[in-house]
Amino acid sequence: MGARCAKRRRHQEGDKPCLAHFSVIRSIGRGAFGKVCIVQHRSSHKLYAMKYMSKERCIRQNMADNVLKELSIVTTLDHPFIVNLQSSFQDARYMYIVSDLLLGGDLRFHLNQHGIFREDRSKLYLCEIALAVDYLHSRSIVHRDIKPDNIILDEKGHAHLTDFNLATRLEPDKLATSFSGTRVYMAPELFSTCNGSTPGYDHRIDWYSLGATLHEMLRGRPPHQLPSSLNSHQVLMIQHESPLELPSEWSSDLISFVSLLLAFSPQSRLSSLDSIKKHPYCTRIDFAWIQSRRAAPSFVPSQHCLNCDPMYEIEERVVVSTPIHDRRGRGRKSSKGASSEVETAALEALSTSFIEYKRITHE
């Protein structure tokens, strides 16, 4: 037994990543077809976040192409304010995505805890995510789902953009047309594309979403309430006709800045890092200093607790108490019986198309 354990621990650095290289510490989240765990690399003892997804569930929910598309994007990214991919690998039943571990909690959790943020705190988050968005746009990538839920803090309090499930890469001189995003953070041109009044949209939708996120950080709510019962025409009417209710005690520069980020027309919107830098609200900010991560956040997350909803951990312990390694090795049959020939072919295609990636280096 000891020899077998020793053999398991001797991983060569040139080896392809696999589940045996990691020890699972705890579960921290879950989605429709996968879960997220904190894992520790057995050789380096470094901690990472690992998302593992059922291939079968992805196929049955028609999400396999989304997973592959997201992976094709995140394997190309490396930025201090993005949650960067570290490795990806697969086995017969699951896909594994290993990324930076950030334990500071997402902005949705902190907004739920505090209601609103101070202006200096919000401004730093805005600048850090603006740098990340500019980096994405320089690579023709549109995130399409910027919101507090998708901005995570590290242990020092710096903000990082995550979740590229809806991201797309724009071809030169092409517009995106799919209706993607989270309703209250979506730019008007997404709705006008949906109802056919405009041919599509481009990267400028991300700046609107960032403006909506800034509004929520400062006001405790998005700029407009847009219930799902409203159709696209009604949403556009609200976005165009309903004035932003911005506090009179805000500085004129802040009011102007938020208003321009949330401009109805993309032509009138602040829609580049350069235009943000030139606005009076940001002219005194040293973005190179922020890029270097030397700007000290005014808020540092607690390091004595998990900065997320504690109910998940309780539910996970009740529902699943078996370690991930044991579950992966059981060869459990599908709850819906044997896969059809179509599903089998889809599984084979997914396994063939899956991108296996390794960024992790252990000195």
Residues assigned a catalytic role: 145
> Using CA atoms, how far apart are residues 233 and 239, in angstroms rounded to an integer?
10
Question: How many helices (DSSP H) and strands (DSSP E) are in the chain?
Answer: 14, 10
DSSP state of 19: G
Q: Which among 114, 72, 93, 91 is positioned nearest to 343, based on CA atoms?
A: 93
CA distance 22 to 209: 36
Q: Is 145 in contact with 190 (CB distance < 8 Å)? A: no
What Å distances lie between residue 12 and 7, 8, 16, 361, CA to CA? 11, 11, 9, 11
Q: Strand 47-54 and strand 94-99: pairing?
A: antiparallel
Q: Give dist(CA 326, CA 22) in Å, integer.
A: 13
DSSP 174-241: --B-S--S-GGG--HHHHHHHTTSSS-B-THHHHHHHHHHHHHHHHSS-SS---TTS-HHHHHHHHHH
